[in-house]
Amino acid sequence: MINFNQKINYQRYASKKREVLSDKYSIVRCFESDRGRIINSAAIRRLQQKTQVFPLERNSVVRTRLTHSMEVQQVGRYIVKEIVNRLGKTGQLKKYGLDNCVMAIESLVEMACLMHDIGNPPFGHFGEAAINQWFHLRLGLENDTIYPALKVHTNDDDEIKKLKTEIRQDLANFEGNAQAIRLVHSILRLNLTYSQIASILKYSKPAYWSDSIPPEFSYLMKKPGYYLSEEPFVKALSKQLDIKQFHRYPLTYIMEAADDISYCIADLEDAVEKKILTVKQLYTYLAEAWGPFKKGDLFDLVVNRPYENLKQNEFNAIGIDQFFMYLRVNAISKLVPHAAERFIENIEAIYHGSFNHALLEDHSTEYKLLNIFKAVGFEHVFNHESVENIELQGYRIISGLLDIYSPLLTMPTDDFLKLVDNEYHKHYPIETRLYHKLSSKHCAAYKQAISKLNSNEANFACMEFYYRCRLLQDYISGMTDHFAYDEYRKLMVTF
């Protein structure tokens, strides 16, 4: 049975009292509280200084992660409205338990879209790659590790061996989506509703996972979705929302589709703004990727007609702006109804979270259009020399910062805890100064995690080291592009 009302959970993990609300507006008020917590959070403000594709960009017209997320938010809201409209016309809103929770769902999707990138490190996917390679070289399971706390000894019992293996795997699999869950729950402690956090839980694989992935979850477990540190919370969330193992919350599919629709066109527009491509080149690449088209087909309606208008305007600046406006409007007007149609067609699997595909992924011309936007972006934008040079710089900056802060990881457990307690250790002057540079919010998250451990248990040293590594990952991944760049130059004494 499908009843979306049962998936709208306004309870909060850190709230001692479980509220019981009877009227519809009181429930809406809970999600309005989520909106306020999210919009006013530091994580959202930092998005304005993280770029979508072009790191260290000074041109304010080129999208930041914040402006991109606002665009995703609008598309997500539109998809919800399209779904509701279609189900309303066929009299099925009540059948699926949607008649009393439309406002809540709209708010949940909008805020999920706004938050979807908050866990991404500086320099985007190259920042992720830098963090992962740095930790993989030191903690990867195929090599021995230099860190005593995670060395596997013959006298370790099976439980400790398993834990050390999971920790090493977990730390070598940093992922922006998993970091977003950690950010809202463990670092900022926004105490959002279960439904709101579930809406950004994009993948169902724990970061420590090393077994083969079941075929029926190949897409849902494509990437790590959460860390070992947040596993107890994710289990509590899944129980509250009746999400089975490796399944997904239904509204996440909408957030993901909105992101797919938004970024593929935005990246191409930004590339033209930066003069990586001309509009003529862009049109040529899109037409070649699509193949032969005829009057009235999807490519003609979405791409060709705006381009013909641009040619009549002789490619002037206003005409180029108009071209991208209509390209975007036309694409959204076709892709959003298709996303809504796919949601309704697969509503049972989506409701239960077992739908093992992206919402837009099918054999339609709409999906073909989406793919040619992505393919042209990948081939002619992301692989452009200027973009790759900046990404390589970003890779070096993140790796260099981890090298600079790595002395904190070589300290023995007792000495590091003493440094944390006293904010000073006379035998570790360099480490003391490095610790002072860490963000107080990230240090507070570390202290809270350590306070829940039992120092007399056999797993204390490896769990302490785990949270110490998380402290460094939290700090560096939370930097903006320019802050990371400036910090690296400052500490490398580069002028």
Residue ranges of E strands in 82-209: 205-206
Whether residue 175 contacts residue 224, with contact meaning beta carbons closer than 8 Å, is answered with yes
Both tokens of residue 165?
């293996």
178: closest CA among 199, 210, 200, 195?
Answer: 200
Both tokens of residue 325?
């406006």
Separation in Å, CA 398 to CA 182, 187, 387, 473: 20, 21, 17, 10
474 catalytic? Reply is: no
475: closest CA among 435, 423, 447?
Answer: 435
What span, in angstroms and rounded, lies between the C-alpha atoms of 171 and 135?
7
Chain centre distance of CA 214:
23
**Among the options 259, 260, 267, 481, which is catalytic?**
259
Would you call 226 helix, strand, or coil by DSSP?
Answer: strand
CA–CA–CA angle 109, 18, 204 (5° rounding): 45
Both tokens of residue 478?
């939370």
433 catalytic? Reply is: yes
Cβ atoms within 10 Å, residue 289 = 17
12 catalytic? Reply is: no
116 catalytic? Reply is: yes
Separation in Å, CA 239 to CA 105, 233, 234, 457: 20, 10, 9, 28
What span, in angstroms and rounded, lies between the C-alpha atoms of 484 and 492?
12
Both tokens of residue 98?
């949607």
What span, in angstroms and rounded, lies between the C-alpha atoms of 178 and 468?
17
**Among the options 29, 45, 427, 433, which is catalytic?**
433
Question: What single DSSP character describes residue 214?
Answer: P
**Among the options 34, 117, 260, 474, which is catalytic?**
117
Both tokens of residue 468?
């110490």
Provide the H-helix boundaries in 346-412.
Answer: 347-352, 365-377, 385-405, 407-410
Residue 62 gets the label, from left (phi > 0), alpha (psi -120 to 50) or beta, of beta
CA–CA–CA angle 326, 331, 334 (5° rounding): 125
**Among the options 46, 65, 68, 247, which is catalytic?**
68
**Among the options 116, 138, 168, 468, which is catalytic?**
116
380 catalytic? Reply is: no
Structure-token match 């206003």, residue found = 318
Catalytic residue annotation: 68, 116-117, 259, 433
